[in-house]
Amino acid sequence: MNRVVHPIEAESYRRMRARLDTSHLPPLTRAVVERVVHSSADLEYARDLVMDEGDLQRGHAALHAGAPVVVDVEMVGAGITRRETVCRLRDGVAGPGLTRSAHGIRLAFEQVGPGALWVIGNAPTALEELLRLDAAPALVIGLPVGFVGAVESKAALRESGLPAVSNVSEKGGSAVASAALNALLYHPVPQSKETL
């Protein structure tokens, strides 16, 4: 992806790196941490985020190979640049024991099947529903926000063993979830020796 970095973004990254040393982090982990911190102006995310470089590498490869990207709300989709997303929240219907967000996740899975990247930035119930499905995701970015269910749903994601980006605290939201996906989208695809 050819992307022109605006001078304001470049200066923002320079100032952030003056306050936060990420040089010790593996490349994709560093990209996600920096993009999330940049999008939130919250340096605490550097200690709050949980991810594995191998999971990020596989998610990055799937993303650049064209795997579908599913989001829980349109705000997350709006923050993801240069990539179409699937959001079925508008079609979701709440029912007994099922939120509209959770139903939207069910509908999205019926549409895309296994192997998608899932970006949950709003509803803990959407993340909980994803964990109930046999979705076989390429990667789950699980960063829902809130005082009810957010911490618990993110802990359940980590305990599930699924490839994931999450965080420990109540913090999260659409902006940081889309930022984590954008970090993978913007990161260059390694060139194989055969294509050099």
Q: Annotated active-site positions, please?
A: 38
Rounded distance between C-alpha atoms, residue 123 and residue 67, angstroms = 23
Closest listed residue to residue 60, CA positions, set 142, 138, 147: 138
Residue identified by tokens 């939207």 is 104
Which amino acid is located at 165 in the chain?
V
Q: What is the DSSP letter of 72?
A: S
Within 13 Å and on the Cβ side, how many CA atoms surround 114?
5
- 143 within 8 A of 14, measured Cβ to Cβ: no
Rounded distance between C-alpha atoms, residue 158 and residue 139, angstroms = 12
Rounded distance between C-alpha atoms, residue 178 and residue 176, angstroms = 5
Rounded distance between C-alpha atoms, residue 66 and residue 44, angstroms = 32
- 102 within 8 A of 125, measured Cβ to Cβ: yes
